[in-house]
Amino acid sequence: MGYQNEVKSVLPNNISKLGMALLCCLLSFYGEAQQNSTAPIDYSSLKLPERPNIVWIVAEDLSPYLPMYGDATVATPNLSRLAKEGVKYTNVYSPAGVCAPSRAAIATGMYPTRIGAMHMRTGPWFSFKVKDEALRNHQQKYSPVYEAKPPAGVHMHSDYLRRAGYYCTNNRKEDYQFRCELTAWDESSDKAHWKNRPKDQPFFAIFNLMVTHESKIWTKAKDSLWVDNSLDVPMEPYWPKTPLAKKDVRRMYSNIKEMDHQVGVLLKELEDEGLLEKTIVFWYTDHGGPLPRSKRTIYDSGIKVPMLIRFPNGQFAGQSDHQLISFVDFKPTLLSLAGLPKPEYTDGMAWMGSHRNTEPRTYIYAAADRFDRQHDRIRVVRDARYKYVRNLLPDRPYYLPIKFRENMDIMQELLRLHQKDSLNAQQRQWFRPEKDREELFDTWSDPDELQNLINDASHADKLQELRGALDGWIQDTKDQGLVPETDYLKKIGDYWDQPQTAAPDFIKKGNLFQLESPTPGAAIGYQWLSPNEEPKDSWHVYTSPLESKDNKILVARAHRIGYKPSDLVEFDTK
């Protein structure tokens, strides 16, 4: 449908219907051939500064509903520029169809099921900034509040870059399933920006663009800005085709236009400062789209994301990379681009940079567990073409009644038509009261994943292969989601029994001062303060012994991810 729209936008009005049909078929075949290839780009010729600047622009809740992916419903001049001047990636996947587990994977380079970050959500990032009584109220009203606990020595992606001399900023969403590591950012706020760095310091900057978030479908319903009510929008086969439903689809595309404008503002800022050709610019989304049967699902509509990367001086401009990429690969690749090796504990691999892997990955993996108060347990493995799904709670329905999602008119339309028994066969599938224990989809011939091939004898070998791959992944990652969440919490201790990172010790060695935390794997942050000065939000990352400073007081805290940060301690360095 997207490729046909793109053809219609450039053909003369008087072209015959037969000619139109033939051209659409040819372009659809070409698009499928592009999609079905898994060839990676050879990045061995990539030339970068020793420490390139890196910017991540992250759009919320969006599938590839974009011109460069064959959907010309709305123009996106800034994203189209990135595609023209950079690389388009066609096989990028989140390990979950929802944001917090996905961000945990990006920040740690580890699968959410390995580190206990699979439930949406564990500790809401905003809750760690309020009093304990409010946390208790939240826990009783919604879901358990606790932090995922990666192994000792796991640090966030930006922590490693800060240790290497980068200025790291996050604007502004955190939401990692654990409290943001104390040493993660120089700035993390809605004002965080590379412009605030010391002159000439290399930077890593994240900008999270919320305008395409699921909530903006209903909260912006009456906002006329960027809206084109005349849009002839394509409709997925599992959506209702009613006027009310189409209105929400138009809102999604209108939000895409606004997001594209925000991308343009950031690109112009880089250009105006003469930084664009010294910076690697990533644009991607945190998981699939905001509309029904996308976000929170393990279909490609929930976990497959668009990604564009622009390299300095137009390297690889206009090319497409079709290799399989998982979010767990982002951290190793980020560090590799900065010349840093990946930590041994990561599950991902770098697809470019000085420490890139020479062999592309064969499979991506994903999972779905609790969403708010609705429990599920699904595990997925996918190669370039086939997806195998294992439903571990088959007595649970496919559709889970998530109150947040039901704010959308299009979701209400689905529920209304379902109650009237007025949905067609494709729309009804999502509302089956029980799940098949296993599912196998051919995503090339069935991109909407509506035809379960599990009993098709011609796919027996592929089924056996993918079953084995999933079994191996579950065993290797020691999948923490295979037990009820209450049992998992008993094992790790819930929020109210949460351990606290031990305060750092102060050791004087000659004219130098060394800091150590008794808690294994904890990072230490420090500040030099004047008398009566209060500590700031940003902490320097302690990496080596310090020299004393006249008329300054050294204060420090330690923090291991999943633990409470230590108390602040003050040292006299005289």
Strand 505-509 relative to strand 512-516: parallel, antiparallel, unpaired? antiparallel
E runs forming strands in 322-454? 325-326, 364-368, 378-382, 386-391, 438-442
Number of other residues whose CB lies within 10 A of the CB of residue 544? 8
Closest CA to 42 of 329, 318, 356, 362: 356
Closest CA to 156 of 521, 534, 528: 521
- Residue 381 is given by DSSP the state E
Residues in the chain: 574
- Measured in whole angstroms, the distance separating CA 567 from the mean position of its chain's CA atoms is 32
- Measured in whole angstroms, the distance separating CA 364 from the mean position of its chain's CA atoms is 14
- What is the C-alpha separation between 315 and 338, in angstroms, rounded? 17
Enumerate the active-site residues. Answer: 99
The one-letter amino acid code at 39 reads A
Transcribe 258-323 into DSSP letters. HHHHHHHHHHHHHHHTT-GGGEEEEEEESSS-SSTTTTTSSSHHHHEEEEEEE-GGGTTTTEEE-S
Q: What are the start-end ranges of the H helices in 448-563?
A: 460-477, 485-492
Q: What are the start-end ranges of the H helices in 70-215?
A: 77-85, 99-108, 112-115, 132-141, 157-163
Contacts with 135 (C-beta within 8 Å, 6 or more apart), sequence order: 127, 145, 495
Q: What are phi and psi of 227, to 5 degrees?
A: -90, 135
Closest CA to 243 of 233, 252, 255, 257: 233
- Residue 443 is given by DSSP the state T
- What is the C-alpha separation between 520 and 489, in angstroms, rounded? 21
Peptide bond into 251 cis (omega under 30): no
Closest CA to 517 of 22, 153, 249, 95: 153
- What is the C-alpha separation between 257 and 216, in angstroms, rounded? 13
